[in-house]
Amino acid sequence: MVRPDPRGRLPAPASKESSLTLERGLALLQAVADAESEAPSISELAAAIGASRAAVYRLLVPLQSRGLVRREGSKVRLGLGVLRLAANVLPQLRMAAQPALRTLAEAVGATAHLTVADGTEAQAVAVVEPSWTAYHVAYRVGSRHPVHRGAAGKAIGLPPEGRQWVHSTGELQPGAFGVAAPVRGVPGLRASVGVVALEKLDGDVVGPHVVRAAQEVADALR
């Protein structure tokens, strides 16, 4: 709700110029991040975002003050402030995924998890165990495995067309069964939602539950 100031006046809407400045600042930060090896120069950044060198210098000031970038002469690199922002990503992912994972774990009676790709590895970032089973898999948050192994890893790479979920048997742990589906529609996120159990899971029954949970996680993150 927009509240008037003490004189009863409503605040003026953000100007088009302010919106353009914000968009260019974000584009500049992205251009710095996209540089794979050599730090880009001011001239290269100006060309990348379609702005003048003077505009790039102006845009760098607030980014530098927040530690998001750092200057090395005419070169620009990401700053440690980006790491501080990144450190908050996983906790927010966990919070957003918890409701869907809880529903999934209780419905299936198996340990539910959200797994995120990190380079060539897959990392479990959120885990929920069912409350009513006599026994279940204890899956540790932070566990890693190759992204091409296990249902959780394989689901991350599923193409949009074709199967909606995958299953695995004993690929990561002898006697363990997994079913997982990709989390789709969240820019920049390569992830899956799945369940793991010590008894065989009926994919035709469990698969739709997992797909639904993956969609709920995606909705919560958008």
Give me the domains of the chain, ranges plus CATH numbers: 16-85 (1.10.10.10), 89-221 (3.30.450.40)
List, for residues 113-139, the tens digit of each pLDDT value.
Answer: 999 999 899 999 999 999 999 999 999
What is the reported pLDDT for 4? 53
List, for residues 42-71, the tens digit of each pLDDT value.
Answer: 999 999 999 999 999 999 999 999 999 999
Q: What is the pTM of this model?
A: 0.77
The pLDDT of residue 179 is above 80: yes
Burial of 41 (0-12, 13-18, 19+ CB in 10 A): middle
Tokens 């690199």 correspond to what residue? Answer: 77
pLDDT level of residue 162 (50, 70, 90 thresholds): confident
What is the CB neighbour count within 10 angstroms for residue 159? 7
What is the CB neighbour count within 10 angstroms for residue 125? 20
